[in-house]
Amino acid sequence: MELLLVVAIIGILAAMLLPNISGRSEEARKTRAKSEIVSTLGLALTMFESDVGKYPTTEQGLNALVVNPTESSTWRGPYIRQAKKFTDPWGNAYQYQYPGQRNTNSYDLSSAGPDEQFGTEDDITNFEDE
């Protein structure tokens, strides 16, 4: 009887804590995606632009950070070590566009976020919503 009581108490505690833990892991994923967009990929794109003189085109995409897209003599990459950095914490590819629609003098870079659909309020981007 005591063992059943202990198991029941552990079950109740787990039920209370699980929503808190899962919410924090989702926040951690959002923070990681924002950090990758702004810091990791943003820095790599800035270094690429500094060397080559312009950002990679939409067609060249983020792969231009790993492989010289035009055999340019000024390309000094790779600018990022792992191509897996091109996927967000939910396993989806980051969306890159140059020239950007929101950042017209730069590029737009975004993750679909936890709902895995672009164009929703869950998107994580390098631009501010209007």
Q: How far apart are CA 61 and CA 55, in angstroms?
A: 9
Q: List helix spans (H) across the chain.
A: 2-35, 41-52
Model's pTM, two decimal places?
Answer: 0.77
In the chain, the domains with their CATH numbers are: 31-125 (3.30.700.10)
The SS3 of residue 95 is strand
- Picking from 54, 67, 65, the residue whose alpha carbon sits closest to that of residue 100 is 54
Choice between 116 and 85, residue whose per-residue pLDDT is larger:
116
Three-class SS state of 88: coil
Question: What is d(CA 28, CA 114) in angstroms, rounded to the nearest whole number?
Answer: 11
Identify whether the C-beta of residue 122 lies closer than 8 Å to the C-beta of residue 112: yes
Q: Give pLDDT, residue 56.
A: 95
- Comparing CA positions, the residue from 54, 33, 34, 35 lying closest to residue 45 is 54
At 3, the pLDDT band (50, 70, 90 cuts) reads: confident
pLDDT at 36 over 80: yes
Produce one character per residue of 81-108: b if its CB has 16 or more CB atoms within 10 Å, e if not.
eeeebbebbeebebbbbbebeebeebbb
